[in-house]
Amino acid sequence: MKHRLQQLCDSYQMKFFTDVPLNGRTTFHIGGNADFWIEINSIPGLSAAVMFCQENHLPYFIMGRGSNILAADNGYRGVILHLGNEFSQMAFTDDTILVCQSGAMLANAAKTAAEHHLSGMEALSGIPGTIGGALFMNAGAYKKEMKDIAVSCTYVDGTGKERILSKEKLDLSYRHSFFTEHPDCIITSVTMKLHKDTPEAISARMQDYSERRRSKQPLNFPSAGSTFKRPEKGYASKLIDECGLKGYQVGDAQVSEKHAGFVINLNHATCDEVLRLCRDVHDKVLAETGCILELEPVLLGSQEGEHSCS
Ligand SMILES: Cc1cc2nc3c(=O)[nH]c(=O)nc-3n(C[C@H](O)[C@H](O)[C@H](O)COP(=O)(O)OP(=O)(O)OC[C@H]3O[C@@H](n4cnc5c(N)ncnc54)[C@H](O)[C@@H]3O)c2cc1C
């Protein structure tokens, strides 16, 4: 299999790696090795890789920046398809329409928009992921979501064909999209509708959001951002704090003392430790408040322990 994958990558000039440590490719710095890793640099290459995996019954997983992923300690038995820098072009198709390839970082897209005096991405600019990852989860912050700006996208489906999806079919809602229901599909570009504003107003908002993140979030520790989705009532961080769980630790996994909504990796936390900690948090919050907390990061690979709170 390794030899045939290498040949496929050679024919599309894609980089190919084996036994790739996922703790070096995720912002949580957690995870064992992935068997195979392909750096996708074109749509034909992506389609060919998907078809190869399907024909050979080889599991595949699309990874953006790895900022919303909790990878298993024993890694991933399959191929990680990574859309990186070579898949991050951006273009304006008219005054207010920005089209980004899905490997572009949100921060860069927001900067490009601001340079063109376009507003709509300021609140999302501090999310440390790609446009593709953001659309997948309908990422959002400060009451703005991808849903507010995305008008369509292109994607490669599970048979390797490129397709277009209109706004209505994107099915965007809180941390949900068409793609969360179809994980075999890979977003290749996202079209966003922005609106004109003054550079001063855009820049002031970006600075404000950035300062709020810096002052409230534990950005100096590895994490996957908010660990739990917003429950039906209230905020996960408030409930966790009220249950006295700030600073609660299992091994090197800790409920951040700065922001109870973040589980952080103090040094060498394992996936198993994070999941055990999350289960404890889930159980205590349920017992004391009646609220059910659900994990937000995507679990990659087969996890050894139970994760009843996912
Ligand atoms: C410090 C910190 C702060 C954060 N703050 C926020 C926040 O305010 N709001 C928020 O919503 N999130 C936040 N996050 C979480 C994360 O950054 C977002 O969910 C981000 O959108 C994930 O993008 P990614 O490229 O890293 O995706 P990854 O983590 O690589 O992948 C996440 C999921 O998206 C899928 N995916 C990725 N790319 C594609 C693609 N091209 N096609 C199809 N599926 C794809 C993956 O398969 C996976 O299932 C934060 C994370 C950190 C570490």
Tens-place pLDDT, residues 127-143? 999 999 999 999 999 99
81-98 average pLDDT score: 92
CA pair distance 255, 223, nearest whole angstrom: 10
- CATH architecture assignment, domain 88-213: 2-Layer Sandwich (3.30)
Backbone angles phi, psi at 188, to 5 degrees: -110, -30
Provide CB contacts within 8 A for 55, sequence distance 6+.
Answer: none
Report which residue type is found at 140.
Answer: G
Residue to substitute in 60, 61, 105, 127 for testing ligand 1 pocket (most ligand atoms within 8 angstroms of CB): 127
> Which pLDDT does position 202 carry in this prediction?
96
175 annotated active-site: yes
Which residue is it, tokens 């973040």?
A: 262
Mean pLDDT of 82-88: 87
pLDDT tens digits, residue range 180-210? 999 999 999 999 999 999 999 999 999 999 9
What is the CATH class of 219-300? alpha beta
The residues facing 156 across adjacent strands are 162, 186
In the chain the first and final C-alpha atoms are separated, in Å, by: 33
Q: Residue 25 catalytic?
A: no
pLDDT above 90 for 305: no
Q: What is the mean pLDDT of the chain?
A: 95
Helices (H) and strands (E) in the chain, counts: 9, 19
Q: How far apart are CA 240 and CA 285, in angstroms?
A: 6
Tokens describing residue 186:
């890979």
Q: Which of 225, 64, 195, 49 is nearest to 135 (CA)?
A: 64
Place of tokens 């075999």: 184
Give the pLDDT score at 233.
84
64-83 pLDDT per residue, tens:
999 999 999 999 999 999 99
Residue pair 217/209 in contact (Cβ under 8 Å)? The answer is: no
Task: Considering the candidates 25, 175, 205, 279, report the single residue annotated as catalytic.
Answer: 175
**Residues with beta carbon inside 6 Å of ligand 1?**
27, 61-69, 83, 102, 127-130, 132-134, 136-137, 139-141, 179, 186-187, 217, 219, 223-225, 298
What is the SS3 assignment for 160? coil
- Check if the beta carbon of residue 268 is closer than 8 Å to that of residue 252: yes
Our answer to whether residue 226 is catalytic in this structure is yes
Task: Name the amino acid, one letter, at 166.
Answer: S
Taking residues 235-247, what's their average pLDDT?
A: 96
* pLDDT of res. 217: 96
Average pLDDT for residues 221-228, to the nearest whole number? 97
Please determine, looking at this structure, whether the domain spanning 2-85 carries the CATH number 3.30.43.10.
Answer: yes
Q: What is the mean pLDDT of residues 260-279?
A: 98
Catalytic residue, candidates 67, 88, 226, 237: 226
Domain borders along the chain are: 2-85, 88-213, 219-300
**Average pLDDT for 4-18:** 96
- pLDDT higher than threshold 70 for residue 91: yes
